Amino acid sequence: MQERRKSTNVLLDTALQEFYGAADEMGLDEKLIAVLSHSERRIQVSIPVEMDDGSVNVFEGYRVQHSTALGPSKGGIRYDVEVDMDECEALAILMTWKCSLAGIPYGGGKGGIACDPSVMSKKEKERMSRTYGARISPIVGKWSDIPAPDMNTGGQEMVWIMDTISKMRGELEPALLTGKPVSYWGSRGRHEATGRGVATCGLELMKELGKRPDKITAIVQGFGNVGSYTAKTLNDAGVKIVGISDVTGGYYSPDGIDIRKAFECVHSNPKRILTGFEKVGNCEKIDDVLFIDADFLFPCARDGVINRKTAPNIKASYIVEGANGPITPEGDNILASNGVMIVPDFLANSGGVIGSYFEWAQNLQGVFWTEEEYNNKLVHIMKGNFRRVWDYAEARHVTMRRAASMAAIERVAEVVAMRGTFL
């Protein structure tokens, strides 16, 4: 038997150990375990960029394709100082299971550039994005690997990358990547898709528990794209949001946060942050909303925020993971011993990749849907996926995280076994 992988990177080791645990519980064949615990391709590229002052900085870029068993690999591109190969691989593995569980024809991928985009001008970011696109162009494509926005990237970066690769190939390739602006081959509804999906899973859990949304209090940690639309969708359904946060701190109101005012505050700020919200939102500013007493917690910020140090102080009874890997294994064990129920990230935040699939399908056909069509299809799939994991967990007497892992791995393993190891 091949020795099993371990990593000093917390996120990668978490992804591997969760896979091994689920695979062992399923009784998965060791040959399949060996294949699925390794990524098909990991590349690192250097990205020389001429800065506005005439100097040249060389950034490191990455792209990992964990699996293409079910179809082209799918995953975002992030710009952050902490991006490295291990982080990209961990997130690519999670994308494999997320796509599998969602029932869409994708494998998992992820990429990024180690940089601090907050100190770069628009022209510097454009040059960096275009060079990165050129360097990864041999391995990306509408039937091989389909990037999308992630942390600190958006529609503009996708347009730069798509434009660069399309010009290199001599033809427009709109299905090359997703997350594009609506005005340029994008899809209506995509911007809100991840947050809408997270909230839908939360609302479905409330339904299974026999709880009315208007009797529920919730915390949303993180008020970026995912967190803000999670909060809005929950609030629209009647849930009282008592705490929100972003890089400026936490904001708490036992009477409920005015989410409309929070959106106005963010969109009036050039940096899209909640600076000064305590003055207009009639709420108290606090250090961290994680430890507020509420029924539901939606961590929609960074990975690893709920760990062995913070988990004992969590008061929420139910957690729906909006971010990727917000709970470490140690934190997960502590929460389990405290009776906290968790809806895992690759179920809860799969609305984004399902939405990307919708955009890709529209691009391939050259036919565009209305926002209502998009949202109805998204919510329908999210509800079905939640039901499948809930039933799987109930039938096998396992947690939702383990049930989601097992159901996702089952689908990929079946196809890998069918296709053989020459992939």
Distance in angstroms (rounded) separating the CA atoms of residues 150 and 94: 14
User: How far is 207 from 201, CA to CA, in rounded Å?
Assistant: 10
According to DSSP, the β-strands at 249-252 and 240-246 are antiparallel
Strands of the sheet containing 284-286, edge to edge, are 284-286, 249-252, 240-246, 217-221, 296-299, 318-320, 341-343
Catalytic entry in 98, 110, 125, 232: 110
Contact call for residues 179 and 158 (beta carbons, < 8 A): yes
> What is the token pair recorded at 101?
């569980």
> In whole angstroms, what is the distance from residue 193 CA to residue 211 CA?
24
Q: Are 292 and 315 in contact (CB under 8 A)?
A: yes
The radius of gyration of the chain's CA atoms, rounded to the nearest angstrom, is 21
Nearest to 104 by CA among 361, 376, 349, 387: 361
Residue in the block written with tokens 């190969």: 85
Query: Catalytic residue at 110?
Result: yes
Q: State both tokens at 147.
A: 């990037």
What distance lies between CA 276 and its chain's CA centroid?
Answer: 28
- Residues labelled catalytic: 110
